[in-house]
Amino acid sequence: MFKELNERNILPLHQAGFRPHRNTMYNIIRLERYAREQLQKRQHSAVIFFDIKAAFDIVWFDGIIYKLFDLRLPDYLICYIISFLDNRTASIEIENILSKLILLKSGTPQGSPLSPLLYIIYTSDSMNSIHQHTEYGLFADDTALWTTSNTITNLNYRLQSSIN
């Protein structure tokens, strides 16, 4: 599946998490080079870091399936992922008392090698609407947005419009 997504350029360009030949240093080096270049130009720079709490738990089943169809992935891959996510249940234990089974409608199984890839697909379009002069770096569920400007006001505007 990864090969199919990679060949079709579906995965975000600057997503370094869970991808061969990329690691945390990929985006750190990009940010460091960018900051040095802008410092030499005497530009104001800013970066914002985000970490999505319990990221894999927010992957909504219907949403990921919609995206898979929208991406026109082969039917066999879509059917496999549907069966992977379908009829998943959970229960809660408090003081040795187990709840009834709850049918899950979101979340990918922890520890599964497929879960990170599903999260990346689910969030793959999240950077499509950032401000044109704003850069980004992704590593799994961590995001960095950075930009520069000759004024603080414009710097704030670029970052705020990217966040919105």
Average pLDDT by consecutive 10-residue portion of the chain (164 residues)?
Answer: 82 84 89 94 94 91 94 92 93 94 92 91 89 91 93 92 89
The full DSSP string for 6-70 is HHTT-S-TTB-TT-TT--HHHHHHHHHHHHHHHHHTT-EEEEEEEE-TTGGGG-BHHHHHHHHHH
Q: What is the pLDDT of residue 44?
A: 93
159 burial level (CB within 10 Å; 0-12, 13-18, 19+) = buried
Q: What is the pLDDT of residue 4?
A: 82
Number of domains making up the chain: 1
Task: Please report, for the chain, how many H helices and E strands are present, in that order.
Answer: 6, 7
In the sheet where 44-51 sits, what is the strand order? 44-51, 142-149, 134-139
Q: What is the pLDDT of residue 114?
A: 92
Domain range spanning residue 63? 2-163
